[in-house]
Amino acid sequence: MPTFTSFDGLQLSYTVWEGDGRLRRPVLLQHGFAADSQANWVGPGVVEALLDAGFTVVALDARGHGGSEKPHDESRYGEETMARDISALLDELGYDEVSLAGYSLGAIVALTVAANDKRVRCLAIGGVGSGVVDFGGVDVRVVSPEQVAAGLLAKDRADVPAAVLPFRRLVRRTGGDVEALAAVLRASQQQTRIDLTSITVPTLVLAGESDQLAAEPERLAAAVAGARLVRVPGDHMTAVADPAFVAALAGFFAYSDTGDTRLAISSPA
């Protein structure tokens, strides 16, 4: 996987899959907390579906994750910092426009980018709901960042809240650095609220029907002008792999790119 030097000198890893040229606008994917590009996008079939549609696809391993550098200092993290990483990658690749998708933490980062970088022409976010409206990011009504951090660092599984166990399993599967991930979480508690009214590009909100971290997604969709909401089967860890999620994402980006109504999402919100 290639790397590039981000705005503050950190080395970040990314992957580019070249499309066949049918669709002109690249799609950039930002994964969720404790995942990486492979776990969030390749394994569930999202990259394959976008390539089949004709897109060039780019996936970034966020700082602290995957093949990117993993400092343990929380001052090196935060959604605004990660948003600057995406803009720096667009600079690196020379892209003047992109469709952007983010999931969970990556959705908050993607919203932040879309609010500030005019190269984002189309946006899709999943795994988040009214927590973005009420708290500016993670829905702390379900579990707080500090609880997740403590659960990842806990030596005894018996000390880990049930809501944190899926994240522990994901970290084990991806081989994540728990000290770096705890720093990511601590930094997220200092997130500045996103100005959702400044997002004017076509936007899709994707929410798992059983995803507690994406509760009341209709409130998030209502806060972004013209946003479309599609609910899909699954919870926070499984919705992204559901065929309905993949089809809705690919169809939305293809319609935005071409204007061909045959590619638009047909399922009701």
Residues 6+ apart with CB under 8 A from 22: 53, 54
Q: pLDDT tens digit string along 47-67?
A: 999 999 999 999 999 999 999
Q: pLDDT tens digit string along 247-268?
A: 999 999 999 887 765 655 644 3
Residue 256 structure tokens: 């935005």
Residues 6+ apart with CB under 8 A from 169: none
The answer to which of 111-120, 193-202, 231-240, 256-265 has the lowest mean pLDDT is 256-265
The secondary structure of residue 194, as a DSSP letter, is: P
- The amino acid present at 84, given as its one-letter code, is R
> Across residues 156-182, what is the average pLDDT?
94
Q: What is the DSSP string of 1-58?
A: --EEE-TTS-EEEEEEE---SSS-S-EEEE--TT--HIIIIITTTHHHHHHHHT--EE
Q: What is the pTM of this model?
A: 0.95
